[in-house]
Every structure is written in structure tokens, then in C-alpha cells.
Amino acid sequence: MASVSPLAFRRFIKNFAIPILFFLSAVVTWPILAEMELFERFYEYSRAHEDWDLDEFALLIVNLTIALVFSAIFQWHRLKRLVREREFQRQRAEKNARHDPLTGLMNRRAFSSAMEQIEEQAAGSNERIVAMIDLDRFKPVNDLHGHAAGDHTLQTVARRLREEIGPEAVLARLGGDEFAVIFDPSAGVVQVERIARRLLHTMEQAVAFEDGQIFISGSIGLVKWNTATSCVEALRRADKALYTAKNEGRSQFAWYDAELDRQSHARAEIEADLREAILKSEIEPWFQPIIQIDSKKLIGFEVLARWQHKTHGHIPPNVFIPIAEDSGQVGSLGLGILRRACMAAGEWDPDLSISFNVSPYQFQDPKLVDQIKAILQECEFDANRLTIEITESSVINDFDVARTKLNALKGIGVAVALDDFGTGYSSLASLRQLPFDQIKIDRSFVTNIAAEPQNQKIVSGIMALANGLDLDVTAEGIESTEDLGFLQSLDCSLGQGFLFEKAVPAEQISWLLESKWGNLHVDPEEENFEVLKPFRGAG
């Protein structure tokens, strides 16, 4: 029997206390009055005082008592009906709060409660398999066919999932086009993988809607959940596995990989620390010498970013720069490095230049030229001493836009170089259509070139092309006298690499210039490269 809430009870007392008291009084006092013959006495008394109209008064009291009794009965039934209606509304509200109104499945809240209940009952001694399911290509369904079609598709998918996973599994719609499953405890890895394949197949079957058909697919992430692990962590791992399945091509399932998760966690940690590192200027510019090969003269430095993390130590640029690009921080990172590099280089010999690499993402910024110009003015650095290096991926999508931006850079006095030349697919087109001042041969073609005949042919072809277009060439990755000797035979203009020096921090440049590069003479026939060994441990 449904319980009566305290509020309903208080209202009952307020509305029906007096009628009930009258009724109870009548029930209790009627036998007493009859026993004491008070009715006969009243009759005799009324006959003796007929002018008082006592009979009419007594009749009125009786009628009122009967009316109050019937009123109490009516109000009691009304209260019971009201209590039943409120209980029904409460149960319906509780169901709506725990179930998805579209598909009738559990919602996220109820699914979490189910996991917590399993966790408590198992007490860490049981293992279940949890799946996260996400529909592929679902957004176009709403866009092309309307939300009614999307709702119908979700209802159809929910029904198909329920039929495949069986009655003992827990199924929920977490939101949007995302579903979750807790498989039956008896379901092992082999059985779950068979179910996952059936799920993928059934989701690919056409969904009939009105006069047409809707085609979708799904991806599934699977994780073994030992209930000693929190349900929140289990869902996070299942979501990671789902992300892996989508990255590997969709329409498939993937198991949670702890090593991939560790790498992802480390990446997320670096991304979180990166913003603070940029604000605090913890990522510093280091400088690698660039040598004029024919005259053996130092002509400048390439600016390289270095990050010494407070807990992880040295983090390579090929780790944190892609993270900066993906998180939208590469612009502020690059401008900060360029500003500090210009400030440092402003104290050197004015004949020394610096080369600075601009990320493809940063190159797309329409404010880039104005930002570089502002930094040069702020640092009072001569624009003619700066070369901006860009990779082919920065310009390949739209040569017209790239040409405009490169001309704008050259307009403020900055030289432009095409970096990593030879690694792209349209380098010849880039050189033909864009106003570069020089090219840089990628280190993969230069390092150990004496033992790589194929690379020798590639570099020889690049040099012939550059000479025909009257472009300076910088060869990266020179690490041996043999590399240097081959480049000298081709009359390559400039070179950089570990043979000359690794990148060094700004505070070591002055000492390097005073004690090393003043009398440096590089000759492949001589073994005088030992003079640079004190610096080879840096960078």
C-alpha cells in the first residue's frame, strides 16, 4: 500500500479534523445517551417547553451530524485518490530521471548507478567487460533527413543493440549517439568480441525511414573492468578504446591499451603545462651556427626552441611543438621565442643573421606579418638580419595567399627560405610560383651522404635547380667531414650540423664568438674540428 506523505497528512488534518471529531463524538456518545435515557428525558422536556422549538433544534443537529459524516467519507476518498495520483506522478518522474525518453534505455545517471551497485556487490572480486558504442556518420542523418529521421535511427539502433547483447547485459544511452554496455559476468573475451562483431554488422544494416533508407555504422571501445577499479575510471578507459577504434578507421572495435593511455595521459599533462611554460617564458631560444662553406665563415644561427621541464626534464621540440599546434598555442609560443631571439641577437655582431622557422599553423594567421614587424620594432632588430623559414605544407594549399604573405614579409626587409626541401610532393611548383630567397636541403638527404648514392643524386639535382634559379642553398645535418666534402664539391653555399656545433643557449654565444669562431678554419683535409668539442655536449 502506498504511504501517505507528511504534507498530505497535514492537509488531511486541516480539512477533515472537525468532521471526524463530530463523527467520533456521535459514535461514542450515542450509546451513552441511550443508556441514560436522555432521549426520553429530552422528549418530555421538549413537551413541557413547546414554545422553545426544541424538536426543530434537535432535528437540525441530527441532520448536520449526518451531513458531516457523508462529507468526511467523501473527503477521505478524495484524499486517497489524490495520494494515488501523486504517487503515480512521483514514479513517472523517477522513471524519466533514470531513463532516456527517446529510446526507453537507461540514461547516464542510471547507468552510473548500475555500475556503482555492481561495484559494491562484487567488492572488487569480479571482472566485467564494459563497452562504449558511438555511431559513425550520424550527424549527416540529422542534417540531410531531419531530426525525426535521427530520432527514428536512434530508436532502431537501441532496439538492435538490445536484441544482440541479451537480457542479462546492462544497456544505456549516455547521450547523443553514444551508448554503453555492461556485459553479463559470464561473457568472456571471445564471446564479447563475437557480440561486438554482430553489433557492428547490425548497425551497418539500412534503417528504413519513410520512403528511403538511412545508412550508418558504429565504433566500439572495450575494456576489462575489474570492479576494484572505479566505475568512473572504467568508463574513461572504454572511451579511450573507442577513440582508438575511431582513429584506426571506424566501423570496428578496439580494446583499451594501457600503454597508449599512458602516452595520451603524458601528452595531456604536457599540454596542460605548456600554457604556463609559454606565459613564464620557460621555453627558450637556442642557436645552431650556420657556416658559409666556401669561406669557412660563421654567418648566423638558426633559432631552435628548447624546453627544460621542471619535472620531466628535456622535452624535445618534436613532442611539444605538435601539441602546441593542436592546442592553438603555437602562435604565442613562436612569437615569444622570436622576440627573445631578436633581443639576444641584438647584442651580437650586426653581420650575424638569425633564421626562424614558422609553423604551418602560424603561417595561416593573417596577423603574422604585422606581428613579426612589431617584434622587430620592439627589439630594434634589423629586418635584413632575419630569415623566416617555412615548410612546403605552409604554402601548398593556396599559392596565391602564400605569395601575398611572402611578398609582405619581403616588403618589411625579411628574407624567406623554403625549409625541408625535397621531402614534399610539389617542391618544384613551390619554387616556380613563390618568391623564396633560399632553400634548405632536409637533413635526411645530407647526413652520411657519402654512403648513399641515391641521396647524392637527389642533392646534386637540387643544387643544379637552385643554381638555375639563383637561390642560396643551406644543407642541414652535416655531421662528418665526408658530408662536408661532398657538399663543397657541389659548391653548396651554406651548411649547419653537428660537425660544426649543436644548438647552444644564448648566454654561451658571446663566449663562443670570442673563443672559437674568430679563427675557425674548416677544411676537410685537416682534422681541426676538435676545437668545437667542448660544446658538443650542449643542446
User: End-to-end alpha-carbon separation of the chain, Å?
Assistant: 79
Query: 464: which residues sit within 8 A by CB, 6+ positions away?
Result: none
Which residue, chain included where needed, has cell 507528511?
6
- Which DSSP string corresponds to 424-438? SS-HHHHHHHS--SE
User: Distance (Å, rounded) from C-alpha 108 to C-alpha 83?
Assistant: 30
For residue 429, how far is the Cα from the chain centroid? Answer: 37
Which residue, chain included where needed, has cell 603561417?
363
Evaluated on CA atoms 94, 97, 102, 105, the torsion sign reads negative
Query: 320: which residues sit within 8 A by CB, 6+ positions away?
Result: 270, 274, 283, 305, 307
Are the C-beta atoms of residues 533 and 501 closer than 8 Å to each other? no
Whether 233 is catalytic: no
User: Distance (Å, rounded) from C-alpha 468 to C-alpha 432?
Assistant: 11
Query: 440: which residues sit within 8 A by CB, 6+ positions away?
Result: 389, 417, 418, 419, 420, 421, 473, 474, 475, 476
Q: Which of 284, 389, 476, 501 is the catalytic position?
A: 476
For residue 343, how far is the Cα from the chain centroid? Answer: 36
- E strands, 483-522, are 494-495, 504-505
Which residue, chain included where needed, has cell 634589423?
382
User: Distance (Å, rounded) from C-alpha 198 to C-alpha 364?
Assistant: 45
Give Dmax over CA atoms of the chain in angstroms.
154
Q: Number of C-alpha atoms within 13 angstroms, CB side, residue 84?
A: 7
- Which DSSP string corresponds to 267-282? HHHHHHHHHHHHHTT-
Q: Which of 484, 486, 519 is nearest to 498 (CA)?
A: 484
Other CB atoms closer than 10 Å to residue 305's CB: what's the count? 20
Q: Which residues are designated catalytic?
A: 476
